[in-house]
Structure 1
């Protein structure tokens, strides 16, 4: 709909007006008409379009040299299609007549200086800032949607902190991480005095965005934080002023993710009066997690004095898979080997730019400075979230994401985030930090699911579930720890005469016979409870991810109660707690009984997963990780390539 502006004229006078092409000027003809006037006639310059309409906006007549009967129900609508070459070169004259007199008894004149003013952004998300896109002032999700995108500038181009932490642009490379905005003006070389342009943001947006103006020799901050508005000179002729917008914060539940930039053309009278206004809208780009089904880009592991043997095996596993391996030395990890718990790799994206972005947990142990000191850099962003430091549920082994799913017709093309907490609606127990949960919810594109994980000593969802790629069905399988399947396997071994076979036979720790495990009533009761907890989560995952039993594989795992805690941990190395890099699985070696030289626990996992085209490698993490209540997944991490789907093409 065209922007309307009402202008009042007086008989016997010429009124000069600055006109913005694309708007409509309305003139009341009846009120300023002289007494006893009965008719009027309108003439105008060739590139001025005039029409006569009634109060209901019904067109009565286009421009004509004929006289028209004067009535208080009609008014004049004026549009101009061409920019002025000189000030006031577009004219409209209204002449008033009495009876059949040939000469007008009075007239009034409108002199227009027609200009173009357009604040433009990449509203159709193709990387090009087109002129005056009709959808630049709104946001709509989907492949047929519109609205510009604002990338949070959380990387570091120089060794001076995160780029959006100050009000400066130190290097021009930083502009590549910002969203462009262009103010386009066109008009005569000499413009009427008393007009100016003003850019502004609303108070709620001042902490979301910072806008810089790029001149030939410098970058100047013009909006953001403490600066709510800025005057912009109206440049003469045909000109463009380039602005660059950087996001300051990722979406959160306390604010809308939309940012609005206002443009006003002001006329200085008693005070500045806007004669033209428009807006452009940006949407803050979210942080996105990557599931196991996406291709790895880089694998991470820590080196400490007591994981030398594990590291040797793990290095061979990654070399076989042919992916890049980064080893964090003890000088950087400060003897903290749980790199999965400290950080979560993800990314953020706009049409103009892709950023790897690492999410740093509030865990803050030996690895607390690793992400900021050694990962943050050019095109590698950083976020830190708040939380209770001593609550282990705030570590990111308690943070997973599913592959893409469709649930009851609703698509989640970027998957759904999965977090563990206490049992729903319970008053006690450990819960994941509200700050973390609110942050994940606010990203919106990976709608989180909350599971029950507080029954575990450490309390992380990766202790009882993971996802692996598959060539059929939904493109993946959900793996769940299953005490029931472990007991079935051990009972079968007993029936086959292997009840005296030893668990942990190759380990220095206490060995135990299969019969002893089967006869341990306390252990059996504890695992019956564990199975109920996992079954509850199984039902939630089936419902929230749209899965059926064919999408789930049970992995034999037993849990036992720790002497100093009421909660449980894995009895033998937890094979669900694996690392997935492409088709290659790095699985904790369970040290089950050896039957004819083979471990039946390993064989059960191979028979379930290898038909899916997966390559299983069992890695000894017993002394380095398992005895410290973690496994392979807890001590490793993977940065993955992004989804091909652009998040803004989702239907929300």
Structure 2
């Protein structure tokens, strides 16, 4: 009751509850004498008001409910409510977001409500999409499923996008239901602004909320597996591997799902999408299969599409990334939801589906930036690799390649010894040295001794036996010149000549004679082999005149001779050789194969591990995952994919592995060192990880085709929490 001269000239009014009818609020100004004890005011002016409620509500605070709290109201124009990308199939017909129906009662859970509160009579209302792509949002007029159910009132529809919906008189609260028809594809893509407009004559009032599609999220390999897809030929092999790692047979059979696709990883990425929802968990979710099948191969598409079902969504890379990359180019780093890593080296030269004007990395980076959940995509240089996938050099949570580990293993096998004889012996097959180490008794027989200086210099013999206590070393063939106290020698133990990537029996020796021209007969008079034992096998000259050449196919009909076609290079008496019954194959030019067979010492002599290690460090030097043994080779020329001079995994790629819950990793069996059990490469990896490591043979099916276990599997994993928000 201020004095009249203190009355403000303008009064501001705020409505706190909606009017029940027109003009149901009366504001009046009254004046009267101030000096009277009980003044009798005289009304001088009335103003009738109607409080118009203009209120559209969504779950802007992302707590799973629409509760109209001040917090929710304050956020509705700055924080988007999450609209589910409804790409699953709840009625066994097609993706739910591909038609204008609510696809059965279960589909209602994959929609979010939009609540519009009533206003007074005499005003009319409309809904309008003010910003954002209307072809990716669909709003239904209610929750009723099926044909004849709630119609599409706004957004995507068969007849074309609807941007405005006339509600008319808004005399009661209404609830609409919304779904998203696709994920965001670019960080510049606008959120939807949905406006409620209430009008009367020329007057218009509005309320606005913001909506955004639920994101697509990929999980790191440490997340728990729910299903592991693998080419049908390996279904039982993988089940047995999981059983060896601690799963029961029933659990393994439930986990492993057979696929018609040999390269599951290349053609699909399996992630999830989730959104706030009412209920005890406060969320709802579905797994989502991202189809990367760029070649539109019907067989590969079939198995991916067959996963579509309730809470199993599906989308294809088109149109924003028409599969110019493959799943092996993407890894997810550990920690929270992880960051996306992209190997940029995969690029086919076939112009049909790999046009030169498409940048794979930018497509992937834009897509994940648009989701707004996982950190920016990191580009990794994989251009030096045969296929160019990041999973050739990095398995997040498992490891990265380390050629130094491989070199250390091989050097341990190639543990040579140098010494000097103490004096002459009276046996033409012996050398005398009291400094022979005790380990020599087990490690030297089968290896080689060379007199490097003093009497008898230049002679090479195979070691037959060693007696460290007596200081006596016995050679398989008598010395031509008997060593004495001036003779210096070097020893390469049998392990240095262990065959790598070979099969069957093996032996090594020194060539003592050669005869023939078009066909050469190599003699080693110290041997007494079973005739024909080596037929169809291979001989490799590891030291001497013929060293450094590829293995040669052989046969033998006598106990001490091997026959070969003239190899086109010189072989001399005294050359050291290794002979094997069989060899693993390797991938060569244009899909051809050649022999993987080599030996420890030869590999150490000519393998440029430093060059490969530098390439690895340049690619992923910043990642601290443990180093897994790795061995590469380069095929000179243009390979079967059209690439020039790229590196292949010689050792089956143990980095390209599968993390499988209780099984720490499932790894390609290396088949590196023939005849040593357990394989030192397996021992190294098992020791490195400490947990359960299981090895399976993928040489012929995957390794020979340039891939590994990770390439041949795709895993549906469950996050620790669905609540990314």
Say if 2:299 is the partner of 1:302: no
2:698 and 2:298 map into 1 onto residues whose CA distance is 20
User: What are the Cα deviations for residues 578-619 of structure 1, in whole angstroms up to 9, with x where unaligned?
Assistant: 111113121000001146522111111111112xxx101110
Deviates more, 1:511-520 or 1:285-294: 511-520
* Paired residues of 2:77 and 2:210 also in contact (CA < 8 A): no
2:294 and 2:213 map into 1 onto residues whose CA distance is 27
**1:456 shift after superposition:** 0.8
* Paired residues of 2:396 and 2:625 also in contact (CA < 8 A): no
Number of residue pairs aligned between Structure 1 and Structure 2:
519
1:298 and 1:380 map into 2 onto residues whose CA distance is 12
Say if 2:438 is the partner of 1:356: no
2:223 and 2:83 map into 1 onto residues whose CA distance is 25
1:69 and 1:388 map into 2 onto residues whose CA distance is 72
**1:338 shift after superposition:** 0.3
Say if 2:612 is the partner of 1:530: yes
Q: Secondary structure at the match of 2:132?
A: helix
Q: Secondary structure at the match of 1:79?
A: coil
**1:250 shift after superposition:** 1.1
**1:297 shift after superposition:** 0.8
**1:358 shift after superposition:** 1.0
**1:106 shift after superposition:** 9.2
RMSD: 3.2
**Which residue number in structure 1 is paired with residue 11 of structure 2?**
76
1:429 and 1:463 map into 2 onto residues whose CA distance is 25
Q: 1:529 to 1:430 in 2, by over 3 A?
A: farther
User: What are the Cα deviations for residues 459-505 of structure 1, in whole angstroms up to 9, with x where unaligned?
Assistant: 1111111133xxxxxxxxx5111222212211221116311111123
**1:196 shift after superposition:** 0.7
1:379 and 1:481 map into 2 onto residues whose CA distance is 37
**Which residue number in structure 2 is paired with residue 604 of structure 1?**
684
Equivalences for 1:390-409 in 2 at 5 Å?
Answer: 394-404=325-335
Say if 2:399 is the partner of 1:479: yes
Q: 1:137 to 1:384 in 2, by over 3 A?
A: farther
Say if 2:338 is the partner of 1:418: no
Q: Secondary structure at the match of 1:414?
A: coil
Q: Secondary structure at the match of 2:173?
A: strand
**Which residue number in structure 2 is paired with residue 407 of structure 1?**
none
* Paired residues of 1:260 and 1:280 also in contact (CA < 8 A): yes
Say if 2:656 is the partner of 1:583: no
**Which residue number in structure 2 is paired with residue 212 of structure 1?**
140
1:516 and 1:430 map into 2 onto residues whose CA distance is 44
**Which residue number in structure 2 is paired with residue 379 of structure 1?**
311
**Which residue number in structure 1 is paired with residue 125 of structure 2?**
197
User: What are the Cα deviations for residues 80-119 of structure 1, in whole angstroms up to 9, with x where unaligned?
Assistant: 445545542321123589999x999994432223454431
1:388 and 1:105 map into 2 onto residues whose CA distance is 76
**Which residue number in structure 2 is paired with residue 568 of structure 1?**
647
Match of 1:267 among 173, 183, 200: 200
1:185 and 1:390 map into 2 onto residues whose CA distance is 48
Match of 2:371 among 443, 446, 456: 443
* Paired residues of 2:90 and 2:104 also in contact (CA < 8 A): yes
**1:203 shift after superposition:** 4.4
Q: Which runs of 4+ in 1 moved over 6 A?
A: 96-100, 102-106, 387-390
1:317 and 1:360 map into 2 onto residues whose CA distance is 27
Q: Secondary structure at the match of 1:499?
A: helix
Match of 1:369 among 292, 301, 309: 301
2:292 and 2:712 map into 1 onto residues whose CA distance is 15
Q: Secondary structure at the match of 1:202?
A: strand
**Which residue number in structure 2 is paired with residue 644 of structure 1?**
721
**1:199 shift after superposition:** 1.3
**Which residue number in structure 1 is paired with residue 702 of structure 2?**
625
**Which residue number in structure 1 is paired with residue 601 of structure 2?**
515
**Which residue number in structure 1 is paired with residue 454 of structure 2?**
none
TM-score if structure 2 supplies the norm length? 0.66
Say if 2:58 is the partner of 1:121: yes
Equivalences for 1:79-98 in 2 at 5 Å?
Answer: 79-94=14-29
**1:575 shift after superposition:** 0.7
**1:206 shift after superposition:** 1.4
1:215 and 1:147 map into 2 onto residues whose CA distance is 22
**1:313 shift after superposition:** 2.4
**1:368 shift after superposition:** 3.6
Q: Secondary structure at the match of 2:65?
A: coil
1:291 and 1:482 map into 2 onto residues whose CA distance is 22
1:198 and 1:109 map into 2 onto residues whose CA distance is 32
| Unpaired segments ≥5 residues, structure 2 | 278-283, 347-355, 417-492, 504-581, 585-594, 640-644
* Paired residues of 1:120 and 1:132 also in contact (CA < 8 A): no
**1:433 shift after superposition:** 5.2
Say if 2:627 is the partner of 1:554: yes
1:342 and 1:138 map into 2 onto residues whose CA distance is 40
TM-score if structure 1 supplies the norm length? 0.73
* Paired residues of 2:184 and 2:213 also in contact (CA < 8 A): yes
1:210 and 1:390 map into 2 onto residues whose CA distance is 27
